[in-house]
């Protein structure tokens, strides 16, 4: 099992774990802010500033986690190396959630606006369930709930198939090219965020050599 504590170093791990949880929650804030713009808020200097500020905080937290783990591994008498490696990998996934969330604001900058789209409710349903997934993942990691992690991973794995199907449908869309592109990218970004959430949770349930498992397509998974 990956989740074990460093002997004599609980306080460092507590800080690292709390930081990882906060990174996911901050990524969710980026996600919600970008989605608000996409679903009617539109472009604004305030939104752009908020996204950049939160993302910079996530990037700083990533560096803090890696530095803390490196220092701890260097000075601690007893080190659980698989845990160090797991968190070095996990922090990357936490950071990528915010990065992909920013991409929804890019759609707004390119002219996308889902506020009055005929399929708005359909698109919003996917928006909301990924937001819920992010919140649930943060809570599950904080509680180190392995059973809940497995449930969320299985549920999210089903989402990936739906995203792929929606992307394929855009190739046969009767709408405008702009509508097809914006929706294809929308589901592509949702897919990447979902995959990184799944990878984030694997540190609870998979050995270190199998982390990043969900970056692979299902046919390529071992």
pLDDT tens by residue, the chain, 222 residues: 344 434 344 568 889 999 999 999 999 999 999 999 999 999 999 999 999 999 999 999 999 999 999 987 887 666 667 788 889 999 999 999 999 999 999 999 999 999 999 999 999 999 999 999 999 999 999 999 999 999 999 999 999 999 999 999 999 999 899 999 999 999 999 999 999 999 999 989 877 777 666 665 666 555
For residue 209, which phi and psi values (nearest 5 degrees)?
-70, -10
Instruction: Please indicate, yes or no, if residue 198 is contained in any of the structural domains.
Output: yes
Among residues 100, 109, 104, 98, the alpha carbon closest in space to that of 44 is found at 109
Between CA 219 and CA 222 the distance in angstroms is 8
CATH number at residue 45: 1.20.58.220
Asked whether 35 and 107 are in contact (CB, 8 A), the reply is no
**Residue 165 CB coordination number (10 Å):** 10
Residue 169 lies inside a defined structural domain of this protein: yes
Indicate the number of domains in the chain.
1
Which residue segment(s) compose the domain that 177 sits in?
Answer: 10-220
Q: Which of 44, 42, 31, 176 is nearest to 98 (CA)?
A: 31
6 DSSP 8-state letter: P
What does the alpha-carbon distance between residue 221 and residue 141 come to, in Å, rounded to a whole number? 24
């Amino acid at each position: 099992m990956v989740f074990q504590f460093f002997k004599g170093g609980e306080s460092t791990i507590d800080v690292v774990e709390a930081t990882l949880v906060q990174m996911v929650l901050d990524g969710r804030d980026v996600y919600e802010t970008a989605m608000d713009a996409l679903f009617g808020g539109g472009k604004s200097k305030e939104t752009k500033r908020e996204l950049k500020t939160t993302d910079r905080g996530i990037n700083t937290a990533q560096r803090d986690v890696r530095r803390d783990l490196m220092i701890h591994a260097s000075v601690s008498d007893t080190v659980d190396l698989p845990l160090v490696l797991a968190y070095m990998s996990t922090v990357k996934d936490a950071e990528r959630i915010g990065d992909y969330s920013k991409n929804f604001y890019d759609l707004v900058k390119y002219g996308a606006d889902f506020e009055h789209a005929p399929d708005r409710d359909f698109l919003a349903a996917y928006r909301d369930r990924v937001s819920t997934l992010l919140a649930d993942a943060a809570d599950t990691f904080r509680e180190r709930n392995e059973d809940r992690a497995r449930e969320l991973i299985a549920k999210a794995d089903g989402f990936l198939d739906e995203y792929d199907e929606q992307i394929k449908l855009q190739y046969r869309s009767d709408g405008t090219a702009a509508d097809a592109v914006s929706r294809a990218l929308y589901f592509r970004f949702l897919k990447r965020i979902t995959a990184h959430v799944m990878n984030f949770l694997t540190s609870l349930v998979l050995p270190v050599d199998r982390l990043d498992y969900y970056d692979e397509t299902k046919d390529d998974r071992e």
